[in-house]
């Protein structure tokens, strides 16, 4: 998510929302590309979470960790939700509120994987084209009944809303974003630095086919 | 890096070394795949750094950050080097010592990008085949003059030493590792979950060609 910048044509202030159980690559794939970009442009990153406590990828639902693995990484937030309610049974609620409240001031919003569920639940995707990961497509449609979900897409852009498909798709989408906003040369340079072979066609999506999804929203 | 496990055929205890200025995707690409794997196998991860302070991706050399960007992520170590020397002008020295000291007890060691430089400087790559990123190949050869560096490789396996090329190559290499150690079905399943299109041929390396590297070590 890139916050509106006042005087430059490219975004300056970026924020990423992280929550316990987040998927590491969802965050660090795109962030790594943006870390590189920040060498060539003035950019600031806020890592935003409900509290300033380190946020772990670890699942708390033990049914998702049947072997009792202790295998997780924690990232350090730089900001909290500021006015996050002190109570609440659903950790996502403050995040959804935050998206709803903040979106009007944003230049862009960028989601990866089920990040689009949070955007959908905030209402900002209503009437918009968007995508999400492909292994939970039925849930995606339930979460956002008023969203024009695109089933076969590596990523989707509708206005200033960028939604990427599952996990790794965030990398292709962030390179498309860099290309769009910073130019093709920047995207090419960073992909070369990261030795990353991009998928440049947003309709490339073998995973939609793998999960036998009907063609929707196209 | 997977530490030796006592009673199972697959590794249980993993450790990753992180250091200030680390490349996020180097760590979190492979770790994300392993996070997934840890749902199906008992696995523990130690995030090891010189101290227990959060470790940032941020460059301290301001010449690498000419626009004064404040764009970085910090990960929380779970362990320090235990007997790290309290003094030292080179942050890498304790890490190199740690690798040298720890390698004999390891079942596998896995490096991404210039992680192989640390392995090389520890001496454990002497006489071994290995690779590293392609944009700094001349430096790689200088750092490890006794290593059989393979210039055109997405990753290289020599015995229990896995070395991946630059950044994203860690993803392909970690999937190859998962396939080797946990089986092809696991690798396939996680790649599908992550919507990641693997490069399964370790000799696939358009970046060596991009950087016009001579064919060495093949």
* Per-residue model confidence as pLDDT tens digits over B8-63: 567 787 777 788 888 888 789 878 877 877 888 888 888 888 789 999 999 878 88
Confidence of residue A160 (pLDDT cuts 50, 70, 90): very high
Q: What CA–CA distance (Å, rounded) separates B161 from B107?
A: 9
* Per-residue model confidence as pLDDT tens digits over A121-152: 999 999 999 999 998 999 999 999 999 999 99
Which letter does DSSP use for residue A211 in this model? T
Contact A41, A10 (CB under 8 A): yes
Q: What is the mean pLDDT of residues A3-27?
A: 71
Least-confidence region, from A105-114, A202-211, B27-36, B63-72: B27-36
Indicate the pairing of strand A155-158 with strand A161-164.
antiparallel
**pLDDT over 70 (residue A213):** yes
Confidence of residue B3 (pLDDT cuts 50, 70, 90): very low
Please enumerate in sequence order all residues whose Cβ is within 8 A of that of B150, keeping only pairs 6 or more positions apart, or say none.
Answer: B129, B130, B131, B156, B216, B217, B218
* Per-residue model confidence as pLDDT tens digits over B59-107: 878 888 888 888 899 999 998 866 333 334 355 677 788 889 888 988 8
B71–A34 C-beta distance less than 8 A: yes
In chain B, residues 64-123 whose CB comes closer than 8 Å to chain A: 64-76
The mean predicted confidence, pLDDT, of chain A is: 85
**pLDDT over 70 (residue A180):** yes
Q: Which candidate, A104, A103, A107, places its Cα nearest to that of A11?
A: A107
Confidence of residue B211 (pLDDT cuts 50, 70, 90): very high
Dihedral sign, Cα of residue B98, residue B150, residue B27, residue A78: positive
Q: What's the pLDDT score for residue A85? A: 35
In chain A, what percentage of residues exceed pLDDT 70? 90
Q: Which carries the bigger pLDDT value, residue B93 or residue A180?
A: A180
Confidence of residue B203 (pLDDT cuts 50, 70, 90): very high
The alpha carbons of chain B give a radius of gyration, in whole angstroms, of 17
**pLDDT over 90 (residue B197):** yes
Q: What's the pLDDT score for residue B2? A: 44
3-state secondary structure of A196: coil
Indicate the pairing of strand B13-17 with strand B161-164.
unpaired
Q: What's the pLDDT score for residue A203? A: 96
In chain A, residues 151-210 whose CB comes closer than 8 Å to chain B: 165-169, 171, 192-197, 199, 206-207, 210
Q: What CA–CA distance (Å, rounded) separates B185 from A168?
A: 19
Q: What's the pLDDT score for residue A34? A: 77
**pLDDT over 70 (residue B147):** yes
Alpha helices in A49-168 (DSSP H): 92-102, 115-122, 137-143
Q: How far is B189 from chain A (nearest CA, A)?
A: 11
B119 φ/ψ angles, rounded to the nearest 5 degrees: -60, -45
Q: Which candidate, B22, B13, B15, B77, places its Cα nearest to that of B50?
A: B77
* Per-residue model confidence as pLDDT tens digits over B106-133: 888 988 898 899 899 999 999 999 999 9
Q: What CA–CA distance (Å, rounded) separates A160 from A108?
A: 5
**pLDDT over 50 (residue B142):** yes
Q: What's the pLDDT score for residue A98? A: 80
To 5 degrees, how large is the angle CA B65–CA B66–CA B67?
95
* Residue of A7, A24, A166 for testing the chain B interface, max B β-carbons within 10 Å: A24
Confidence of residue B144 (pLDDT cuts 50, 70, 90): very high
Q: Domains of chain B, with CATH numbers?
A: 2-63+70-210 (3.40.50.880)
Confidence of residue A82 (pLDDT cuts 50, 70, 90): low
Three-state secondary structure readout of chain B: CEECCCCCCCCCEEEEECCCCCCHHHHHHHHHHHHHHCCCCCCEEEEEECCCCCEECCCCCHHHCCCCCECCCEECCCEECCCCCCCCCCCHHHHHHHHHHHHHHEEEEEEECCHHHHHHHHCCCCCCEECCCCCCHHHHHHHCCCCEECCCCCEEEECCEEEECCCCHHHHHHHHHHHHHHCHHHHHHHHHHCCCCCCCCCCCCHHHHHCCCCCCCC
Q: What's the pLDDT score for residue B89? A: 39
Please give the full DSSP string across A65-95, using - where no structure is assigned: -TT--B---EE--SEE-SS--S--S-THHHH
In chain A, residues 8-67 whose CB comes closer than 8 Å to chain B: 14, 23-25, 27-29, 31-35, 38-45, 47, 54, 57, 59, 64-67
Q: What's the pLDDT score for residue A7? A: 43
pTM of the model: 0.79
* Residue of B14, B66, B69 for testing the chain A interface, max A β-carbons within 10 Å: B69
Confidence of residue A92 (pLDDT cuts 50, 70, 90): low
**pLDDT over 50 (residue A3):** no
Owner of token pair 């049974």: A89
Q: How far is A142 from chain B (nearest CA, A)?
A: 20
Q: What CA–CA distance (Å, rounded) separates A139 from A76?
A: 30
To 5 degrees, how large is the angle CA A35–CA A39–CA A40?
120
Confidence of residue A75 (pLDDT cuts 50, 70, 90): very high
B194–A207 C-beta distance less than 8 A: no
Q: What's the pLDDT score for residue A19? A: 80
To 5 degrees, how large is the angle CA A147–CA A150–CA A155?
110
* Residue of B71, B167, B173 for testing the chain A interface, max A β-carbons within 10 Å: B71
Indicate the pairing of strand B55-56 with strand A148-149.
unpaired
A44–B167 C-beta distance less than 8 A: no
**pLDDT over 50 (residue B161):** yes
Q: What's the pLDDT score for residue B86? A: 39
Q: What's the pLDDT score for residue B148? A: 97
Q: What's the pLDDT score for residue A2? A: 44
**pLDDT over 90 (residue A51):** no
N-term to C-term CA, chain A: 25
């Amino acid at each position: 998510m890139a916050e509106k910048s006042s005087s430059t044509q490219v975004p300056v202030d970026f924020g990423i929302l992280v929550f316990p159980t987040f998927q590491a690559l969802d965050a660090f794939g795109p962030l790594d590309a943006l870390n590189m970009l920040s060498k060539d442009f003035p950019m600031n990153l806020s890592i935003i979470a409900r509290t300033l406590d380190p946020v772990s990828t670890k699942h708390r639902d033990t049914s998702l960790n049947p072997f009792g693995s202790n295998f997780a990484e924690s990232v350090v937030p730089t900001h909290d939700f500021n006015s996050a309610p002190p109570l609440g049974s659903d950790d996502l609620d403050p995040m959804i509120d935050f998206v709803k409240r903040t979106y009007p001031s944003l230049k862009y919003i960028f989601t990866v994987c089920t990040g689009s569920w949070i955007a959908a639940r905030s209402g900002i995707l209503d009437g918009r084209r968007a995508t999400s990961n492909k292994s939970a497509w039925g849930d995606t449609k339930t979460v956002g009944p008023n969203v024009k979900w695109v089933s076969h897409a590596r990523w989707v852009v509708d206005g200033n809303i960028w939604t990427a498909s599952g996990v790794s798709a965030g990398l292709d989408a962030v390179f498309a974003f860099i290309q769009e906003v910073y130019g093709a040369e920047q995207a090419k340079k960073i992909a070369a630095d990261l030795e990353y072979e991009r998928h440049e066609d947003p309709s490339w999506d073998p995973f939609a086919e793998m999960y036998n999804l009907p063609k929707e929203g196209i």
